[in-house]
Amino acid sequence: MINSTQVLYFTLSAYFDTGLFKYLHFIITMSLYICIVVTNVFLIVVICMNRSLHEPMYIFLCSLFMNELYGSTGLFPFLLIQILSDVHTVSASVCYLQIYCLHSFACVEFLNLAVMSYDRYVAICYPLQYNTCMTSNKIATLIALIWLYPMLINVIMTSLRSSLQLCGNVINKVYCDNFPIVRLACSDTTIINIYGLIATFCTICVPLTFIFFTYLKIFRICFSGSKQTRQKAVSTCTPHLASIMNFSLGVSFEIVQSRFNMSRLPNMLRIFLSLYFLTCQPLFNPLMYGLNLSKICVTCKSLITNVQHSY
């Protein structure tokens, strides 16, 4: 039996030799990361610099874009190093740190999307009470909840994981993840499994259920309201709903392929399914919100025009 303190490194076995194609994979991955960083930073700057965008919806959007940067930074630099490496190993401390970053990213994402659905619910269903309801103190409290709650949950998960006794160090993925490490445990995993189920319920099931019921009420108001109300709902809710469905689909891919035997699938497809929610969401959100929200679109065009005129 190997004690967890003796596991100094993990081997990522999902990588395979691609020869010179690894440089092409490196360029594609680097391009994706640069695109994610540029688009998300650009929209954060646009929201921060324009006073007309200092509204609750855009503040929550800014939090969402910051989370995309956080999650991407927890993944992409690691992937870039591993793509060029001939030996795909990672130290236990770095592995646990990556798990913490990626899991907290997913938790923050779901909570942020839930809070955004609440904001849209108040704006559409109770427009006259919106300003009195969404006060600065309430916004600050919600932002703190979005970020601090997932961090605390994952600190506890990390402490439980570090106490496990492991009988191996091979992870069949291209990045570190909690479930494959738990499967390597020789010691009793009952506590961490129960805690994992509770944490999943609180950070995924509860936010999604909350989003579902808020949108039921939003749709009820839209169908019984005026044409202007429906247009407002469509313009602000479409990118939000698309973001929720995209991320939920990606997380579902990851859960299914992690917990069930997917060896019949090609290796490249399994890698794609495990990376989908970590790569597509940070790229998808800025494009979706930047193109569909008129205020952001107009502000971006104005900013680009001013930069061109200055030259």
Tell me phi and psi for residue 158, to 5 degrees: -65, -40
Instruction: Say yes or no: domain 4-310 is CATH 1.20.1070.10.
Output: yes
- What H or E segment, with its residue span, contains residue 106? helix 92-125
Count other C-beta atoms under 10 Å from residue 27's C-beta: 11
**Partners of 2 in the beta sheet?**
166
Mean pLDDT for each consecutive 10-residue tract of the chain (311 residues)?
Answer: 62 81 90 94 88 88 95 94 89 93 95 94 89 92 95 92 87 90 88 92 93 90 74 78 92 83 77 88 87 69 61 54
User: Which pLDDT does position 164 carry in this prediction?
Assistant: 86
CA angle (272, 19, 94) in 5-degree steps: 55
In the chain, where are the structural domains located?
4-310
Counting other chains too, the contacts that 229-238 makes at CB distance below 8 Å and 24 or more residues apart are 229/124, 232/124, 233/120, 233/124, 235/292, 235/293, 235/294, 236/57, 236/120, 236/123, 236/124, 236/293, 237/120, 237/124, 238/292
User: Which pLDDT does position 162 carry in this prediction?
Assistant: 85
User: Which pLDDT does position 306 carry in this prediction?
Assistant: 61
> Model's pTM, two decimal places?
0.89
DSSP code for 19:
T
- Asked whether the beta carbons of 58 and 123 are under 8 A apart, the reply is no
